[in-house]
Amino acid sequence: MKCLGLFAGLAALSLSAVHAQPAHAQPAGDAVRPLVILAQPQAASPQEFQSAEMTAEAWKQLGLKVSVRPLPGQQFSQIVWYERNRWDMTTWQMVGRPERSDPDELTYNLFVSANIANGYNLVGLNSPEYDRLAQAQREELDLTKRQALIREVQEYINTQQPYGFMVHPKNLVAFNQTVWDASSMKVQAGIGVRNFWTWINLKPLTAQKDVIVNSVSPPTNLSPFNIPGAQGSWATELVWDRLMRIGPDGLPQPWAAESVTRPTPTTVDVVLRQNMKWHDGQPVTIDDAVFSLEAPGYGDKSPMYRPFVSNIAKVETTGPWSLRITLKRPDAAFLVSSLAKLNLAPKHIWAPIFEDLKNKPETAESIMEKVPVGSGPFKFVSVKLTEQIVLEANPDHWAKPRVNRWIMRIQPNIEATLGALKSGEINFLTDYTGDPELLTRLVKSTPDIKLSDSLDIGFRFLAYNERRPPFNDVAFRRALSALIDRDAIAEDAYGGAAVPANSWISPALAFWAEPGIDKKVPGLGNVEAARKMLKDAGYVVINGELHYPAGVKETTPVYQ
């Protein structure tokens, strides 16, 4: 446009004339404030940090000021999860838990409006249409029809772009094959060899019977009512039993239950395994099982697990070792998303805690016993969240492990972790976020070390906080997502150990994943298309800065 010449020193000359407008030609609102992406420190998560920096640089082409702010692990989680009105964007991940082999858990919980305040809907998407689709797939018991609904809901999220999806990573796991018998390890679909079944079946080849694993960041609080991040979940699933577990084949199977049957679409009958004991020596009873199903629905005192029991109408005992669950509505994934996810918790410990929390702001997920008590195949010996977690085999468990102890060492420095693997300080590299090439070189130069990799059912993404403008504008979110170079992130930041993502459902779940969804991002890779989205929504670039549509004031504070 010719009138651009009227503005001496206009920084926006590097931007497209299609998008840049002089103030008098198109009225504009306030300039968009500087935006901040929260991230874990580069030393702890170099892949995510580099992904954020690459993306922030790309967004500057839209006239935005974007910076990446690293925060220590626990402060990072505290702000993102509990201070939801404070941040603009954050790197985040949904890890590949076994119970996520059915897409319902994430499909239902990530974006339904009921989970905005304190559930998994971190970004605050409020969409009646999404709520309808998420509920419909949950109630559809016909597999083919449910598959169609799952794919429809992925297409809908593609139009809304509540996340800047990045990649589905590959799990890179290395272990000392002179210490552990590789044939005793179990490969779990979408998880790989780092899984529950490996830990309870792992066969030692020498007198060394301690599994020593690593974590690059400290786990969050460990309790039966807390759903910790990746590292914490590796420990908690060993300590607390569940009525069912997801088998290596990706299907649910009875665990602490002897049997689970569904006589009708809305009833589930459970027979509890007898002679189980809590780690403090007390017996596991049918009342404990009922309590474990009911407690997460106790007001707002278990917000993480509450979504997984919200469809339960009642739980009642039908015998000394049996119970019946009555659902409000049919739930196609209940066995996977609820019975294989909810931990069995000792009523004698946790009922008083819930009672004490009645008139307090704290929730059960923030409470951790000094030595937490479960009934699983391992039990806690010591917990220092920032240093080390030590578990030992439970001799009273029906699936007693063949190893003596399972030890997780917190080692934020990736290079130091590789050195620890080579020296034998750790013998199972379970958490590697560094350059895949460095790990490959180590394996090639150290015959004792073996590498295993598998595509994860989890994903990495940037969360846009819709509580804070301009992220409540779908046009703005779509423009941002268009300029996330997923191919470059997968190749450069992740060293090829990832595939591009535009959905919460990994290609590892081929039956459920929408084919080619990663290529369907509106305006993908096209700067001019992204600028046009903003222009059509009324945004204007003046002197190189993006401004809101006319009349819109910038009242949201910059993240501090």
DSSP string, 117-147: TTSS-TT----HHHHHHHHHHHH--SHHHHH
Beta partners for 316? 324
User: Are the C-beta atoms of 422 and 441 separated by less than 8 Å?
Assistant: no
User: Which CATH number applies to 36-169+457-538: 3.30.1660, 3.40.50, 3.40.190, 3.30.70?
Assistant: 3.40.190
- Judge contact between 95 and 230, C-beta under 8 A: yes
Strands 540-542 and 244-246 turn out to be unpaired
What's the rounded Cα separation, in Å, for the pair 534 and 62?
9
- Could you tell me which residues are beta bridge partners of residue 214? 409
pLDDT of residue 25: 59
Per the CB < 8 A criterion, the answer to whether 331 and 136 are in contact is no
Q: Give the Cα separation of 232 and 408 in Å (integer).
A: 10
Question: Phi/psi at 94 (nearest 5 deg)?
Answer: -115, 115
Q: 108-117 in b/e burial notation, b at 16+ Cβ within 10 A? A: bbbbbbebbe
Give Cβ neighbours of residue 510 (< 8 Å, ≥ 6 apart): none
What fold characterizes domain 178-447?
A: D-Maltodextrin-Binding Protein; domain 2 (3.40.190)
Query: What separation, in Å, do the N-terminal and C-terminal C-alpha atoms of the chain show?
Result: 38
Model confidence over 463-488: pLDDT tens digits? 999 999 999 999 999 999 999 999 99
Separation CA 527–CA 224 (nearest Å): 47
| DSSP secondary structure letters along 53-65 | HHHHHHHGGGT--
State residue 413's pLDDT score.
87
The domain locations on the chain are 36-169+457-538, 178-447
Q: What's the rounded Cα separation, in Å, for the pair 1 and 20? A: 9
The number of helix segments (H) and strand segments (E) in the chain equals 15, 21
Can you tell me the distance from the alpha carbon of 123 to that of 132, in angstroms, rounded to the nearest whole number?
18
Per-residue pLDDT of the chain (560 residues; tens, 9 = 90+): 333 332 233 233 334 433 444 444 578 999 999 999 999 998 888 899 999 999 999 999 999 999 999 998 889 989 999 999 999 999 999 988 888 989 999 999 999 999 999 889 999 999 999 999 999 999 998 999 999 999 999 999 999 999 999 999 999 999 999 999 999 999 988 899 999 999 999 999 999 999 999 998 888 889 999 988 778 899 999 999 999 999 988 889 999 999 999 999 999 999 999 999 999 999 999 999 999 999 998 888 998 899 899 999 999 999 999 999 999 999 999 999 899 999 999 999 999 999 999 989 999 999 999 899 999 999 999 999 999 999 999 999 999 999 999 999 999 888 899 999 999 999 999 999 888 999 999 999 999 999 999 999 999 999 999 999 999 999 999 999 999 999 999 999 999 999 999 999 999 998 999 999 999 999 999 999 999 999 999 999 999 999 999 999 999 999 98
**How high is the pLDDT of residue 491?**
95
pTM (whole model) above 0.75: yes
What is the reported pLDDT for 118? Answer: 87
Residue 558's CB is within 10 A of a number of other CB atoms, namely 12
Residue 74 φ/ψ, nearest 5 degrees:
-70, -35
Whether 36-169+457-538 shares its CATH topology with 178-447 is answered yes
Q: Kindly report the CA angle at 160 between 159 and 164, in degrees rounded to 5?
A: 105
